Amino acid sequence: MSTAHSDANSGDADLAIGTVYLVGAGPGDPGLITVKGLSRLRASDVIVYDRLVSQEILSHAPEGAELIYCGKRPNHHAMSQDDINACLVEKALAGHTVCRLKGGDPTVFGRGGEEALELRAHGIPFEIVPGITSAIAAGGYAGVPVTLRGVASSFAVATGHEDPTKEEAAVDWRRLATATDTLVILMGVGGFDAIAQELIAGGRDGATPIAFISWATHPRQRTFVSTLSRGAEDIATHGIEAPAVIVVGEVVRSAEALSWFERRPLAGKRVLVTRTRDQASEVSRLLEEQGAVPVELPMIRIVEPEDWGPFDRAVDEIATYDWLVLSSANGVRAMRDRLLARGLDVRALAGPKVAAVGVKTAEELQALGLRVDVCPDRYVAEDLAEALVSEGIAGKRILLARAAEGRDVVVLRAREVGATVNDTPVYRTVPVQEYDERVIGDLLAGRIDVVTFASSSTVRFFLDVLGRERALEALEGARVACIGPITEATATEAGIRVDVQPAEHTVEAMVAAIVESYRR
Ligand code: SAH
């Protein structure tokens, strides 16, 4: 053991030197990073990441961390390996905690070993945090286990793209051909023709089944089953894409029985999410769980009301109110931000009872530490109005904090039974100023399967922003899903055919209804 190493790892060495974590981020599905990998990522202030590391994993980086992309594309190096090594060394010597995030496992064709050697040479402490390698995970997600009792009891992993600068160490395909039951090839799509010929020359039967698993564990995962002798031709004719894991061997036959990921109800379906950027992520996550590929095209933005006066005055007189009523989660967030901007917090809301239109609004209130006294079972304004009425609100004063352009149901009903309602705007929803034209192109070309509308304003702004005629044309080739009866009515009145209408007004119910529509 070198002195440099023991110093660096002993803890009483120069405290200014940072540690480098060589972390495997897993094959793509953001859930496939290890608990330890995630905690190391969260503890780092410099993140050096590769191309196949997902945005979602990167979103766990601490705020303010420096993100350095060193992705390599085929035949194109964004940063040379020397530059990457130098970068890790430089950042660690400057005292940063560095997370070197790599796709899959850092030591499987990931140059993790090289980087570790470089770090050791500079006396920089490091950890290797293993990850789930695509070599094994791809098969798992495709229903092709690399070993299977009675079918395969050994496997090998080889690279189909040897470093051309390496002199020896070329993969000996002929020897590998029959050495193990299962052979997994990474980076092998481009050169598959030559590889297959070598394997056959080495004695592997040309009829051996093989699987190309592209974008494994990603929503767009696609498995294509072929044979050793036909594979190269299939790559060309079926447009098989890299990155792909190639599995060679009898285990491939189990794909038919064991495939699961690509059989999920919405597998590969592209679903448009028209909510605000902030709110879209929740819908997107639910869709992804069902196998869909969410495509976010926000049509609305949330902005401050034109005048905060009415709300501010009401808060200053909060003790004169019996009820504080919130009709959306957006409203709760807007209210919170306004209080904070004025140097206040929820204490300024003490006094009145609290009512929420639905469970999401209630959760948002509870997150602020406010107890919710009334929350109807269904999530429409009519139910909230009735829930309030049954609380006995005659003669009571209600502060309603909501969207400037919301519906008047609660106001009218409460006034009808003799309550005084102060209806104050805390936000406005306005159309986006720009949007991604390519998504509209996809929609017009029939490349979007479902369009979701989670509010009446998303419907209206979709029509406004695109122009009515173009909007209707764009919707023709897709199923239209609305979150609830009000949104559906807005769509129907505008001449939009609504195909999916959930029983309950929640995004969960909307996603479930989309799934159901594909079962039918
Ligand atoms: N360290 C990585 C492999 C790096 S080499 C690991 O352990 O997974 C890059 C190659 O890995 C790609 O060319 C492809 O063959 C394979 N690969 C990585 N992620 C993949 C994925 N999600 N789907 C299919 N192949 C993948």
- Atom number in ligand 1 closest to CA 188: 15
Active site residue 72: yes
Average pLDDT of the residues of the chain? 91
Burial of 457 (0-12, 13-18, 19+ CB in 10 A): buried
β strands within 175-333, DSSP E: 182-186, 209-214, 222-227, 244-248, 270-273, 293-296, 300-303, 323-326
Side chain identity at residue 400, one-letter code:
L
Q: How far apart are CA 9 and CA 143, in angstroms?
A: 42
Buried b / exposed e across 260-277, counting CB within 10 Å, b at 16+? ebbebbbbebbbbbbbbe
Q: How far apart are CA 327 and CA 380, in angstroms?
A: 9
Q: How far apart are CA 178 and CA 432, in angstroms?
A: 59
CATH of domain 303-430: 3.40.50.10090
With the most atoms of ligand 1 within 8 angstroms of its CB, the residue from 101, 134, 240 to mutate is 134
Structure tokens that stand for 388 in this block: 């309030």
- Atom number in ligand 1 closest to CA 160: 15
135-263: CATH superfamily: Tetrapyrrole methylase, C-terminal domain (3.30.950.10)
Which residue among 29, 50, 105, 181 is the active-site one? 50
Instruction: Give, in order, the Cα–Cα distances in Å from 58 to each of 51, 54, 80, 126, 254.
Output: 11, 7, 22, 20, 34
Burial of 408 (0-12, 13-18, 19+ CB in 10 A): exposed
Which residue among 7, 36, 45, 72 is the active-site one? 72
Query: Domain-by-domain residue ranges, the chain?
Result: 2-132, 135-263, 270-299+432-519, 303-430
Kindly give the confidence (pLDDT) of every residue in the chain, 520 residues in length, as a single tens digit, with 9 standing for 90 and above.
344 444 444 444 445 899 999 999 999 999 999 999 999 999 999 999 998 898 889 999 999 999 999 876 656 667 889 999 999 999 999 999 999 999 999 999 989 999 999 999 999 999 999 999 999 999 999 999 999 999 999 999 999 986 444 555 589 999 999 999 999 999 999 999 999 999 999 999 999 999 999 999 988 899 999 999 999 999 999 999 999 999 999 999 999 999 999 999 999 899 999 988 878 888 999 998 899 989 999 998 999 999 999 999 999 999 999 999 998 899 999 999 999 999 999 999 999 999 998 888 999 999 999 999 999 877 678 888 888 999 999 999 999 999 888 778 888 899 999 999 999 999 998 998 888 889 989 999 999 999 999 989 899 999 988 899 999 999 998 999 999 888 999 999 999 999 999 988 889 999 999 999 998 7
Q: Which residues line ligand 1 (CB under 6 A)?
A: 27-28, 52, 102-105, 108-110, 133-135, 138, 186-187, 213, 215-218, 242-245
- Closest-CA residue to 36 (of 26, 28, 46, 48): 26
Confidence (pLDDT) at 220 = 85
Active site residue 50: yes
The total number of residues written for the chain in this structure: 520
Pick the CATH number of 2-132 from 1.10.8.60, 3.30.450.40, 3.50.50.60, 3.40.1010.10: 3.40.1010.10
Q: How far apart are CA 326 and CA 373, in angstroms?
A: 12
Ligand 1, atom 5, lies closest to the CA of: 109
Per the listing, tokens 């609830």 go with 484
Burial of 153 (0-12, 13-18, 19+ CB in 10 A): exposed
Ligand 1, atom 25, lies closest to the CA of: 244
Confidence (pLDDT) at 158 = 97
- Interval between CA 412 and ligand 1 midpoint (Å): 60
Confidence (pLDDT) at 3 = 41
Ligand 1, atom 11, lies closest to the CA of: 186
Q: Which are the contacts of 443, defined by CB distance < 8 A and separation ≥ 6?
A: 272, 451, 474, 475, 477, 478
Q: How far apart are CA 420 and CA 411, in angstroms?
A: 9
Report whether 226 contacts 252 (CB < 8 A).
no
Confidence (pLDDT) at 519 = 87
Same fold, 2-132 and 303-430: no
Class for domain 270-299+432-519, per CATH?
Answer: alpha beta
Q: Which are the contacts of 247, defined by CB distance < 8 A and separation ≥ 6?
A: 138, 139, 142, 144, 146, 182, 183, 184, 185, 210, 211, 213
With the most atoms of ligand 1 within 8 angstroms of its CB, the residue from 108, 184, 185, 186 to mutate is 186
Which residue among 91, 105, 187, 510 is the active-site one? 187
β strands within 3-161, DSSP E: 20-24, 46-49, 66-69, 72-73, 76-77, 98-102, 126-129, 155-159
Structure tokens that stand for 136 in this block: 């094994």
- Atom number in ligand 1 closest to CA 214: 24
Confidence (pLDDT) at 26 = 97
Confidence (pLDDT) at 76 = 60
- Interval between CA 20 and ligand 1 midpoint (Å): 22
Q: What is the DSSP letter of 19?
A: P
